[in-house]
Amino acid sequence: MLRRSSWFIVLIASSCHRAGSPARSVVPPDPAKMVVKPQLDGPWMQAFVERFATDAMAGRYTLDAAAIGKAADALGSEYAALGVAKVGGDYRVPFEFEHGTRVERAHHLWVEASGPARALPADQTTTLSPAAEVTAVATLVFAGPRALAKPPAAMRDRIVMMQDPIVPPAAPTPDNADLRVLANRLAAAGARALLVVGERDVGETGTPWPIPVVALRSAAAESIATAGGTALGELAGKSGLTPLTGVRLSLAPRRAEQLEHADNVLAWIPGTESPKELVLIGAHYDHIGTTAHGLMCREQDGDTTCNGADDNASGTAMVLAIAKALVAADYRPKRTLVFVHFAGEELGLHGSKALANHLPAAKPFAGAKIVAMLNFDMVGRLGAEGLWVGGVGSSSAWMPLLARIGSRGIPTVYERSVTSRSDHASFYEKDIPVLFFFTGLHADYHKPGDEVAAMNFGGMTTIGEIALDLTVALASGEAVVFAPPGEDDGLVTRMPGSDARTVEKQVGAEAPKVPKAP
């Protein structure tokens, strides 16, 4: 590699001419013409996959904080060793996402009487029992102290309403005053839920009770009693069980989206001429975990860890290898290059959605624009079916550029449409040109058999060389303008090469046959 120190030696040597010879003007070489061409390090990339896809990484499941944190730290350490810049002081950039739901300490309550059901306002009820996955749909009875002390058979499959034992006019007994004891007794009698008429607004904690117990404001209780043909005061004065004819209640726990937290891993090389134009080089680094803690990982021949060598240690390693090649060549891009590793892809593209929807305020994102996004997902098992490159329809510049770079003898299908099943889709939805590199699904997809032994590292290196040339072209200022989807293009759920109608081009003697979708 020729550095500035070498230029200095050249200048000294050139100035040492024979005595009396005429002085010559020495022009220093142009550094721009002396840049070493970046070279992908295939063996290094293979070694990284071997480290990243071991059982010790526990399948890199996003909701396994220890496993995904270990993977994120491993990536950060690689970029730190390369000297590539952090984003906002850390390689790990946190985000939160909704995943699943949790039962709230609250209930929905609907009342049906001589007409359509109406929902009671949330401020008219307070859940007193700990949250539980219990729903109830039943007719209503009002229970006085005697019925509560010894529940009759008529209480079975009913929702029971009672006056709060700590509020007159009901005469409380020690048993009736303990709502947990009372809930157990009514559940044994077959009751579905208990409504306590009163102004309580603080529930109890602990394990779920056998039936929901909900406090009901007096005004709401009065309207329910009236719908049943009587007054609340009349009911409160009775000691036995009084059916409220024609009143049917539905009760269900309220649910809220569950917020989870994870980290994307980002690093960047600043652009020298157009630093506000960003090129994203990305891959997801999460997988589906283990049979003990993961998503859909099923034991296979005694193996309980889904290591995800192809999915997606391969793409993760390729992004890192591109960064390593550029650093080793002391390459200075005109545009800023951002290397992105997404978490939460397997759970629904959460990491890429978080970044696309909420760019960090720190450099290099502040005031910048993403001009293109490259995504590498499952690029480690190149076989007879070759390579699929999706998203070529997202810019009219892609096919001329890809043709110029070439396929290096790999049978390749160039697909116009953009599959919604990987992280580039999050940026395509923001009108950003994208490309997706993919070597196809296989029998070990999302299984413990997705191991290093099945990888084609030679093919992966060739794909990485194509990706590196593409990265350099984009970093050097190649114009790439977003193109809206055509009639059959756009965002689709199928994988690249699944429909001949959206295949732009096929190259290679062994180019796979692409079916036309029905």
What distance lies between CA 69 and its chain's CA centroid? 15
CA distances to 143, 153, 158, 163, 235 from 113, rounded to whole Å, are: 19, 24, 15, 21, 18
| Cα first-last separation, the chain | 55
Question: Residue 401: which of 496, 279, 493, 266 has the closest Cα?
Answer: 279
Give 3-state DSSP helix, strand, coil % of the chain, rounded to 5.
30, 25, 40
What distance lies between CA 367 and its chain's CA centroid? 25
Rounded to two decimals, what is the model's pTM? Answer: 0.76
CA 392-322-4 angle, to 5 degrees, is 125
Domains of the chain: 1-34 (no CATH), 37-85+270-483 (3.40.630.10), 102-256 (3.50.30.30)
pLDDT 10s digit of each residue in the chain, 518 long? 333 333 333 333 333 333 343 444 444 544 444 468 999 999 999 999 999 999 999 999 999 999 999 999 999 999 999 999 999 999 999 999 998 877 788 899 999 988 889 999 989 999 988 867 789 999 999 999 999 999 999 999 999 999 987 644 444 444 445 888 899 999 999 999 999 998 887 777 778 889 999 999 999 999 999 988 899 999 988 999 999 988 999 999 988 888 999 999 999 999 999 999 999 999 999 999 999 999 899 999 999 999 999 999 999 999 999 999 999 999 999 999 999 999 999 999 999 999 999 999 999 999 999 999 999 999 999 999 899 999 999 999 999 999 999 999 999 999 999 999 999 999 999 999 999 999 999 999 999 999 999 999 999 999 999 999 999 999 999 999 999 998 889 999 999 988 889 999 999 855 455 655 44
Q: What is the DSSP letter of 312?
A: I
461-501 pLDDT tens trace: 999 999 999 999 999 999 999 999 988 899 999 999 888 89
Write down the residue that tokens 């539980």 correspond to. 132
Task: Give the whole-angstrom CA distance, residue 91 versus residue 227.
Answer: 62
CA 257-292-50 angle, to 5 degrees, is 105
Task: Give the whole-angstrom CA distance, residue 498 versus residue 415.
Answer: 9
User: Which residues have CB under 8 Å from 8's CB, separation 6+?
Assistant: none
